[in-house]
Structure 1
Amino acid sequence: MTTPSFTELGQSIRNVLNSSYEYGRRVVRITLKAKSENNLEIDSSYKLNCENPPARGDATVKLRLQDYGVLSEKWNSDGTINLEYKIDEGKIFEGLRIVGGYSYNPSTNDSGLKVTTKFKNDFLNCSLCVGNALDKHLSFLAGVVIGLRGLFIGYQFEYESLSSSFTASNIGVTYKFTDLSVYFKCSPGMTDHYDLSAVYKVNENFKAAITGTLTGLDTRANWKGGWGVQYKFDEAATLRMKFNNELQLDTSIQHLLYDGIKVTLAFGIDCRDFENSRHRVGLAIDMEV
């Protein structure tokens, strides 16, 4: 089992509780992916919130250079252009990946550089990202995870040279049993944020998850809790539902219409005031050719 990165800790739980809930009052999202035989890939996304226009979107073009890595260019609807070059794992030596990127927005004249290095094997996953907002400041984001027989312990921090201080300091722990995965994350000394979650695989088609979050340790402490389920009817249809202590009921229905075309319909219902509340609905269409 390969050791996950820090951001991947607890991913199986987030897949049940957060994935495919694309909604607002009236939200539409369309994603298109295409891949040619000559190593050229196109990925675009368009999102429209009818209550908060204008629409937002992006488009990415990737070109695989065989033994030399991946070159990509991304355009955002706000005018930002991103150029990136990635050297995949194994090109230099096994487990190492290097990514370099440059971003520029001609309307605001903002620009920046970013270099990320990642290394992973069966027992270790570490990464370091150095960002430079040109003529402004440097930022450092680093993480490390150590794995041993289903137990993964990780630490992540972020440092900003502009304020000469740490802006993030997180500890994450995941333990995987046969059918149960438990995840704990905290930010001691920063935001006093504590999160404990678990997901249980009932069978191949049914998963159940529960989560609890505590923010603050004084009299103003705030906690949130919730649970969710995911049921896969067949290879084409999946139902997700979740409910929290604020009496928010969310439902997502995902269906594979044809090979490469997936439709997701999501609802958010406020059970505290069913008649007068502002319920939410969203539609997402994902196409891959």
Structure 2
Amino acid sequence: MASGLVALLDDIAGLTKLAAASLDDVGAAAGKAGTKAVGVVVDDAAVTPRYVTGLSPSRELPIIGKIALGSLRNKMLILLPVALLLSRFAPWAVTPLLMLGGAYLCFEGAEKVIEAVMGGHEDEDRLMTVDAETLEKQQVSGAIRTDLILSAEIMAIALAEVASLPMTTMAAVLAAVGIAITVGVYGVVALIVKMDDIGLHLAKSASTRTIGCALVRGMPVIMRALSVIGTAAMIWVGGGILVHGMESFGITAPAHFIHHAAEAAGAIMPAIGGALQWIVTAVGSGVVGFAVGAILAGVVHAIGGMRKAHGRS
């Protein structure tokens, strides 16, 4: 009886060690995959704050919470199963699907730029004419759609890092990456959009009044800057997806040109070479993204114009 109990305890100890080792493997793989996706994570954090612009400050955190839940659903209920299925049955389809999503990001970002340059005021008109509840739903819906594409890029990067792992481990790693990134991104976004409230609180104390007043005065400028950065991020992320996708299909000229230009820029000032290479790469991807987005926006508006003309006739 005693020997049987000892054997059982040995088995339990062995299973515990195996489970711990598996968790360590998942954690290590998730950390590596998450690090690879950090560029898109930064872009995601830059894009999101613009979706609370023009809404009541009291609704900012609830809206971010709704977007975060939508992001988690995107990753866990849509992208994770799709990633696992594609990795098993159709790995060739990952790149074309990502390119479609990248084209959508380019279109949405380019349309914002064109409206700003051409004097369009569609967003301002919408803010003025739509009631608060409807506007909130529209903002959350738009943010979740954009997040779906950015999250797809994050999950695709993570998938590439764990493609050789067993299916169960792969699923655990992708889930860990999805949850960690969602919590991190939307935690940072919540902190950014409520920074003015933090500033007001700090301004009430004599010891922190200077910092608090600086935050209160600076946050409107920062939020406007983030709105611009968010639009730019949509264009350069979308353009980057398209450039890498074209490269995988043998159209290597754009990727090679951007890569060589980035290397040349980095060589000019080695002390900040990494930053310069990133900037040149983002600009190059942005040029491609804006060109594609502008073409798509022109086509969409032309089709819309023809439909309106047909309807009037």
Q: TM-score, normalised by structure 1?
A: 0.19
Normalized per residue, the structure richer in helix is 2
Normalized per residue, the structure richer in strand is 1
Return the index of the structure with the highest Cα Rg.
2
Instruction: Tell me: higher relative CO, structure 1 or 2? Use CA pairs within 8 A at least 6 residues apart.
Output: 2
